[in-house]
Amino acid sequence: MKQLYKRFGITIDSKRAESIFQNKVKNQLESVAFCSHLINETILWEFCDKLGIDYCRVSKCKGLEHINYQVMFNDVRDFSEYLLRIQTFLDILWETDDTGTSKDLGEIIELIMEESPIDLGYRIKVSNKKAPQILPSGCKLLDEKVVENVLGLLEMEQYAGIRSNFEEGLREFLHPRTKATLKNVVEDMTTACDNTVKMVFNDSHLGFKHLFKDNRWQKLKLNAQQKQIFFSLNDWMDKIKHDVITDYSKEDIESIIYLSAIFIRLAVNKR
């Protein structure tokens, strides 16, 4: 489709691309393959309860009691909230043991994102271990070589503590980029790095900052340049957390995500 838009000289802005994406997802949800079994009363209630939506209002339509699933995705304020609702839906499907449908829907959404006439700024990771995860996208090469690699590496149960914070940071970055949410991302990345050090050295009293004391960084076989990069990363995150640095941007936080991912991958692979 991207090539067809170019061929006919059609320029698509971000709002139009988001609308196209939402319409395509709606079409899939309305298809016979999904609507015949995808939504039931339990799932609808779980969805409404998690997001604070009035269940009584959405479970009935025109006086007839039936599942009015369309309202699950109506009246959203912006594209981020729409994606939040999609993510919540995918999570509920997975939690209710409909893992196959959750994964199938995730793969469909992945294809819709790939076919978007412009980059939507998000991607979706589909795995066999958990519900598909909608994540912010940056440089495609870095996403594949760094973020995707780390998420795959951390799928083993022993890395659950690291993965949960790393993924939480990615989810926070997915939300509107206010100062509060950006700072939360930094805190999540710090905790993920802390947990990495705890696991690697098998010491619950250690954190990321302790890596640079007593030459512990040498035990990870880091070279002097890598040590300096991660020392600066720790200092950068610490200053943001304690409001010493307040003029950071979303691009700064994206850099912190990538650098944290690189540290986690190096540490886990070299333990």
Q: What average pLDDT does the chain have?
A: 84
Q: Domains plus CATH for the chain?
A: 1-137 (no CATH), 139-271 (1.20.120)
Query: Does residue 65 sit in helix, strand or coil?
Result: strand
pLDDT in tens, 65-106: 455 566 678 778 889 889 999 999 999 989 887 778 889 899
Q: Alpha-carbon distance 75 to 120, whole Å?
A: 20
Q: Is the pLDDT of residue 18 over 90?
A: yes
Residue 15: other Cβ atoms inside 10 A: 9
**Judging by beta carbons within 10 Å of its beta carbon (0-12, 13-18, 19+), is residue 140 exposed, middle or buried?**
exposed
Residues 138, 177, 263, 234: is their CA dihedral positive or negative?
positive
Q: Is the pLDDT of residue 235 over 50?
A: yes
Cβ–Cβ < 8 Å for 69, 29: yes
Residues 219, 220, 223, 224: is their CA dihedral positive or negative?
negative
Q: Alpha-carbon distance 240 to 245, whole Å?
A: 5
The pairing of strands 60-61 and 133-136 is: unpaired
Cβ–Cβ < 8 Å for 135, 80: no
pLDDT in tens, 110-136: 999 999 998 898 889 888 888 998 987
Specify which of 20-29, 115-124, 174-183, 239-248 reaches the highest per-range mean pLDDT.
239-248
pLDDT in tens, 133-166: 898 776 554 566 667 778 777 888 888 889 899 9
Residue 11's φ and ψ, nearest 5 degrees, are -95, 130
pLDDT given at position 64:
42
